[in-house]
């Protein structure tokens, strides 16, 4: 193994130790963060700091989420929905989708920005990841592939998109941040029949979910 790769492995182990200090205890999730090379989802100088607990720009005003944020959401999903088909809204760099793939889910991911979608799709194919991507407005879901056991929205939503609730399987759950432009409360919604039970967690700060059932494009820019 090259020296630079050994260094990234060491940094990745340190990142996982940091996640543990922050309270992430789920072994499956920690193992996924140990295995997925976050630096490959970043470009240029950001690669050098890929294992810091920070969100970094990925172009087009978007970011790769902080490792702690991604781990927090992943634990919420894994503990309520251990396997099956998962839809991610907001492919971005592709890192979160790769974590879900490593955990053994069948992963579908939607991105609204063409350049990010293309970059992630190419990267998944270079890394040999079996992740299905689509370009479009993720607030409308992916009807032909529904129902989903899990749905994860990795952008800040004003409210839960009804179309996505309709695409949840029985006992399926959705993990998403809900709030305003500055901060959002991490939320889990679980389907039981036609009822949806909500749990709320701590505040985070995400770029906005833009779409028919998200924020209006004109409001955001």
Q: Residue 194 in 3-state DSSP?
A: coil
Question: Computed over its alpha carbons, how large is the radius of gyration of the chain?
Answer: 16
- 144 an active-site residue? no
Question: Is 138 an interacting residue with respect to ligand SAM (CB under 6 A)?
Answer: yes
Copy the structure tokens of residue 197.
């039970």
Q: Could you give the dihedral angle defined by the CA atoms of residues 86, 144, 114 and 63, in that order, rounded to the nearest 10 degrees? A: -20
Question: What secondary structure does DSSP assign to 101-128, as a single string?
Answer: HHTT-EEEEEESSHHHHHHHHHHHHHHT
What string marks each residue from 146 to 165 as x (binds ligand SAM by CB under 6 A) or -?
Answer: --------xx----------
Looking at 30, 81, 90, 191, which residue binds ligand SAM (CB under 6 A)?
90
**Sign of CA pseudo-dihedral 117, 119, 124, 128:** positive
Q: Residue 211 in 3-state DSSP?
A: coil
**Stretch near ligand SAM under the rule CB under 6 A, chosen from 9-17, 78-86, 135-143, 188-196:** 135-143
Copy the structure tokens of residue 181.
């432009």
What string marks each residue from 97 to 116 as x (binds ligand SAM by CB under 6 A) or -?
Answer: -------------xxxx--x
Nearer to ligand SAM, 149 or 213 (CB): 213
**Stretch near ligand SAM under the rule CB under 6 A, chosen from 12-20, 30-38, 92-100, 175-183:** 92-100
Using CB under 6 A as the binding rule, the residues of this chain from 35 to 74 that contact ligand SAM are 62-65
Question: What secondary structure does DSSP assign to 11-26, as a single string?
Answer: HHHHHHHHHHHTT---
Nearer to ligand SAM, 29 or 210 (CB): 210
Beta partners for residue 133, in sequence order = 109
**Residues acting as catalytic residues:** 65
Q: Give residues in contact with ligand SAM (CB under 6 A).
A: 62-65, 89-90, 92-93, 95-96, 110-113, 116, 137-139, 154-155, 206-207, 209-211, 214
């Amino acid at each position: 193994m090259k020296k630079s790769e050994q260094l990234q492995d060491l940094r990745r182990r340190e990142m996982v130790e940091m996640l543990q200090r922050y309270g992430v205890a789920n072994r499956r999730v920690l193992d996924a963060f140990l295995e997925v090379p976050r630096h490959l989802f970043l470009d240029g100088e950001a690669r050098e700091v890929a294992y810091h607990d920070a969100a970094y720009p990925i172009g087009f005003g978007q970011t790769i989420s902080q490792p702690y944020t991604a781990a927090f959401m992943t634990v919420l999903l894994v503990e309520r929905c251990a396997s099956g088909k998962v839809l991610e809204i907001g492919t971005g760099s592709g890192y979160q989708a790769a974590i879900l793939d490593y955990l053994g889910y069948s992963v579908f991911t939607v991105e609204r920005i063409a350049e990010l979608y293309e970059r992630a799709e190419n990267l998944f194919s270079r890394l040999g990841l079996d992740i299905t991507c689509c370009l479009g407005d993720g607030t409308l879901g992916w009807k032909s592939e529904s129902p989903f056991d899990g749905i994860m929205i990795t952008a800040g939503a004003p409210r839960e998109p009804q179309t996505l609730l309709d695409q949840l399987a029985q006992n399926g759950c959705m993990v998403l941040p809900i709030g305003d432009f500055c901060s959002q409360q991490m939320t889990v919604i679980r389907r039981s029949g036609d009822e949806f039970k909500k749990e709320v967690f701590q505040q985070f700060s995400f770029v906005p979910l833009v779409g028919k059932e998200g924020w209006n494009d004109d409001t955001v820019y």
